[in-house]
Amino acid sequence: MSEFSAIERWVLRVLRVPPAPEPPEGSPDSIQIFHAGRNLYIWCLLQWLLFHLAILVLLVVLHRMTGIASVSWPEWAQVAWQVIEPALFIAFAGSAFLTFFSQRLNYRLRWYIVTDRGLRIRTGILAMEELTMTYSNIQEIRLSAGPIQNLLKIADVEVRSAGGGAGGKKQDDGHMGCFEGVSNANAIRDLMLERLRQYRDSGLGETAPAPHLKPSRALDAARAVLAETRSLREYLQPKS
């Protein structure tokens, strides 16, 4: 994404938006960052425009009605309304300005980060939410799209876990993270499914119950898993 404009940087400071999130655990070479599709921003902006047009029409109608009715008002009420009415329009203009940039920044600052060990999702500006999930807890990855999303050619990638994530939407059987409004949903799903498979094949993830092994073979398998775990820990440990 392009650099933020001066106005956007000012809004970020006013709203006290934190910096970009740190990637979850995993190899630095495996980090991939995704953002929401452009059409999601267009849809959100359209909703913003319709809402503020409705408010503006309401203010204009109120202005016309009070302009006619205020003739019969007491003098103190007319003076008070002359102060209140401009304040309402100023508040509307200020709110429209800030909410416009919050919509833009909310779109630009949707972070969907995937590594070979897990994923991290950060959304929101005024109310930020961050969710981290590891492949050891992920149970299901699927696509979801409604009629409007199909029209806009975007979809959600839903990732459900057994409750091992921090944050996210709480489900009856765990947590759910959502890559909302992405234009490359199929590619993101396939990437995570492939990395989930690789993670489980490495012996670190949850797999189906293995057949019974002889004691010697079971011991050898346990030693191999321990060796892989130690080498992975050494690889991920920060260099001094």
DSSP 193-215: HHHHHHHHHTTSS--SPPPP--H
**Contact, 112 vs 35, CB < 8 A?**
yes
Question: Mind listing the pLDDT tens digit for each residue in 110-119?
Answer: 999 999 999 9
Give 45's contacts (C-beta < 8 A, 6+ positions apart). 103, 104
* pLDDT at residue 2 in the model: 56
Q: How many CB atoms lie within 10 A of CB 145?
A: 15
| Spatial distance between the Cα atoms of 118 and 133, rounded to a whole number of angstroms | 6
* pLDDT at residue 204 in the model: 56
Q: Which domains does the chain have, with CATH numbers?
A: 1-211 (2.30.29.30)
CA atoms within 13 A on the CB side of 81: 17
| Spatial distance between the Cα atoms of 202 and 200, rounded to a whole number of angstroms | 5
For residue 238, what are the β-bridge partners?
none
Question: Mind listing the pLDDT tens digit for each residue in 130-145?
Answer: 999 999 889 999 999 9
* pLDDT at residue 238 in the model: 53
Question: Mind listing the pLDDT tens digit for each residue in 178-195?
Answer: 999 999 999 999 999 999
| Spatial distance between the Cα atoms of 23 and 31, rounded to a whole number of angstroms | 7
For residue 34, what are the β-bridge partners?
112
pTM summary value: 0.69
Tokens of 122: 């950060």
**Contact, 127 vs 109, CB < 8 A?**
no
Residue 204 backbone dihedrals phi, psi, to 5 degrees: -95, -20
* pLDDT at residue 34 in the model: 94
For residue 159, what are the β-bridge partners?
141, 177
Residue whose C-alpha is closest to residue 35's, from 181, 142, 145: 181
- Percent of the chain residues past pLDDT 90, beyond the cut: 50
* pLDDT at residue 213 in the model: 35
Residue with tokens 């189906």: 208
Residue with tokens 């060990």: 117
The residue with greater pLDDT, 173 or 24, is: 24
Burial 61-73 (b: 16+ CB within 10 A, else e): eeeeeeeeeeeee
